[in-house]
Chain A
Amino acid sequence: KAGVTQTPRYLIKTRGQQVTLSCSPISGHRSVSWYQQTPGQGLQFLFEYFSETQRNKGNFPGRFSGRQFSNSRSEMNVSTLELGDSALYLCASSLEGRGEIGELFFGEGSRLTVL
């Protein structure tokens, strides 16, 4: 069974540009969450999508956005990149739906460097 796939794995952008990251969840998983990991702030929740709807959102500015497609694949976009956006962006999927707690399966992440 294939795991969570994130693309691209590494990318370098300059300030002011925008970036789109992609996540393919495990087959059958309907919930996709995104996290930002930095040495200073640790792992921080960005947002969660379930059945193409944003269900939860973290405390990030509006420059951070996401969406989920009908096949559960998800993308996140960061516009007007800032140096502080340099981080590892992790996608996680889970099988459960609303009200059901379970294991999150993480991808290996997309490492974004902003110059």
Chain B
Amino acid sequence: QQQVKQSPQSLIVQKGGISIINCAYENTAFDYFPWYQQFPGKGPALLIAIRPDVSEKKEGRFTISFNKSAKQFSLHIMDSQPGDSATYFCAPTGSSNTGKLIFGQGTTLQVKP
């Protein structure tokens, strides 16, 4: 059940650069599109999320861009910092499945100093 495809699998970015991670989904019933961040030894934590009534949401250095027609959404990390080095997961879901997230495969981001 490959409902969610995340790319790239890994990403290396220089400090100050832009990190871009993409997520494609199939289920048109999804109406909540979050990105979770996970550090080693920790559980995932919500980073930023968007609902389909807007095409972009920005919180500090983190931006979600949402393309409903293409069934894709992406995470942009501006001015990437070494502290951003972590694994990122997209996890879209629908209103009828509040606790059930379909996680992407994850993207391991390494930001080099």
**Using a CB–CB distance below 8 Å, which chain A residues touch chain B?**
4, 31-33, 35, 42-45, 48, 50, 55-56, 58-59, 90, 92, 94, 96-109
Listed by A's residue number, 13 A-B pairs whose Cβ atoms lie within 8 Å are: A4-B43, A32-B99, A33-B101, A42-B105, A42-B106, A50-B99, A56-B97, A56-B99, A99-B95, A101-B32, A103-B46, A106-B44, A106-B45
Among A55, A92, A101, A105, the residue within 8 A (CB) of B93 is: A101
What 0/1 readout, one digit per residue, does chain B (27-52) give for beta carbons within 8 Å of chain A? 00001101000000111111001000
Q: Which range contains the number of B residues in contact with the other chain?
A: 20 to 34
Is B96 located at the chain interface by the 8 A CB criterion? yes
Kindly list chain A residues whose C-beta atoms are within 8 Å of the C-beta of B112: none
**Using a CB–CB distance below 8 Å, which chain B residues touch chain A?**
1, 31-32, 34, 41-46, 49, 89, 91, 93, 95-106
Kindly list chain A residues whose C-beta atoms are within 8 Å of the C-beta of B44: 43, 90, 104, 106
Give Cα distance in the complex from A90 to B91, angstroms.
15
Given A99-B95, A101-B93, A103-B49, is A45 in contact with B101 using a C-beta cutoff of 8 Å? yes
**Could you tell me if B42 and A108 are in contact, using CB atoms closer than 8 angstroms?**
yes
**Could you tell me if B99 and A92 are in contact, using CB atoms closer than 8 angstroms?**
yes
Interface residues of B: mostly helix, strand, loop or mixed?
loop
Shortest distance between the CB of A53 and any CB in chain B (Å) = 12
Shortest distance between the CB of A52 and any CB in chain B (Å) = 14
- For B34, give the chain A residue with the smallest CB separation: A103
Shortest distance between the CB of A30 and any CB in chain B (Å) = 10
Give Cα distance in the complex from A105 to B43, angstroms.
8
Kindly list chain A residues whose C-beta atoms are within 8 Å of the C-beta of B41: 108
Kindly list chain B residues whose C-beta atoms are within 8 Å of the C-beta of A90: 43-44
- For B42, give the chain A residue with the smallest CB separation: A108
Shortest distance between the CB of A107 and any CB in chain B (Å) = 5
**Could you tell me if B99 and A33 are in contact, using CB atoms closer than 8 angstroms?**
yes
Give Cα distance in the complex from A105 to B93, angstroms.
15
The listed residue with most A CB atoms (<10 A of its CB), out of B32, B42, B104, is B42
